[in-house]
Amino acid sequence: MTRLLIMGPPGAGKGTQAELVAKRFAVPAISTGDIFRSNIADQTELGREVKSYLDSGRYVPDELTNEVVRDRLSQADVADGFLLDGYPRTLSQVDFLDKVLAEQGHELDHVIVLDVDVDEVVKRLHQRAIQEGRSDDSPEVIRERQEVYLQQTAPLIAVYRDRGLVFEVDGLGSVEEVQQRVADAIAQPPQ
Ligand code: B4P
């Protein structure tokens, strides 16, 4: 069974690695960021509610995000495992995820933390801004997202470390090199 989280600062490469892990371990990758972006593109009610948060780099309120995740984790394809990318991002989301998994009789087995310094992530996000034009990749919003990450999400690593679930992976190097390190971490048993 594989129930994984992938964490790291904005632009660390979570989405990039999550897709590769999903293929390699045959589990669905669930990205809250992708779910929000596709709802914005489809102009759904959820999309209208979350757009201003994504555009400004702030977090979507926990109540909305948690319900999205609860709904996704109740679907049949995640019964044998999943990889959550970009969730949880706040302590209240950690508690909520614990509750949902406990209801299902499941536990997490690995939390992969991608370690990349601020200069590198800013460089990557500027590059992505040129290539993809995402609304949250402007210089001001990149700064805001890094700040929000440091204040609200970085402290979660200690919570999972205390549970013996954290595997820190050097996120520098080619996508393939990082992927091999992530796969090696997943192959190790939780401490
Ligand atoms: P996300 O979609 O999670 O955005 P991200 O942190 O920028 O993405 P990621 O780290 O996955 O970077 P990527 O692989 O693309 O969230 C966006 C927004 O949604 C948030 O700001 C928030 O508003 C909202 N949100 C999402 N989840 C939420 C939650 N739980 N609670 C509240 N709000 C939430 O990689 C970045 C770039 O680097 C890419 O261009 C890629 O090509 C490049 N790259 C990747 N690996 C590389 C490598 N090894 N070398 C060089 N470049 C690399």
Per-residue pLDDT 10s for the chain (191 aa) are: 689 999 999 999 999 999 999 999 999 999 999 999 999 999 999 999 999 999 999 999 999 999 999 999 999 999 999 999 999 999 999 999 999 999 999 999 999 999 999 899 999 999 999 999 888 999 989 999 999 999 999 999 999 999 999 999 999 999 999 999 999 999 998 77
| Domain presence at residue 28 | yes
Tell how far the Cα of 1 is from the centroid of ligand 1, in angstroms: 25
Name the residue with the closest Cα to ligand 1, atom 22. 59
Q: Within a domain: residue 78? A: yes
Instruction: Sheet containing 2-7: give its strands across.
Output: 29-31, 81-85, 2-7, 110-115, 166-170
Name the pTM for this structure: 0.92
> Does any domain span residue 191?
no
* Binding residue numbers: 11-16, 32, 37, 58-60, 86-89, 93, 128, 134, 145, 173
Residues in binding site for ATP: 11-16, 128, 173
The residue assigned the tokens 């200690």 is 158
Question: Strand, helix or coil at 83?
Answer: strand
Closest CA to 64 of 109, 32, 38: 32
ipTM passes above 0.90:
no
Confirm whether 16 is domain-assigned.
yes
- Ligand 1 touching residue 178 (CB < 6 A): yes
Q: Taking the mean position of all CA atoms in its chain, how far away is CA 99?
A: 18
Of 35, 156, 36, the C-alpha closest to 95 is 156
Regarding the beta carbon of 65 and ligand 1, being less than 6 Å apart is answered: yes
CATH number of the domain at 177, please: 3.40.50.300
The closest residue, in CA terms, to atom 21 on ligand 1 is 57
d(CA 182, CA 98): 23
Residue 147's domain spans which residues?
2-184
Cα–Cα distance measured from residue 101 to residue 93, given in angstroms and rounded to the nearest whole number: 12
Count H helices, E strands: the chain? 9, 5
pLDDT at 1: 63
Q: Which residues are catalytically annotated?
A: 14, 89, 128, 134, 145
What's at 111, amino acid-wise?
V
Residue 189 inside a domain? The answer is no
Domains of the chain: total: 1
Identify whether 190 is part of a domain.
no
Tell me if 55 is assigned to some domain: yes
In DSSP terms, 168 is beta-bridged to 113
- Pocket test of ligand 1: the residue of 6, 21, 59 to mutate, having most ligand atoms within 8 Å of its CB, is 59
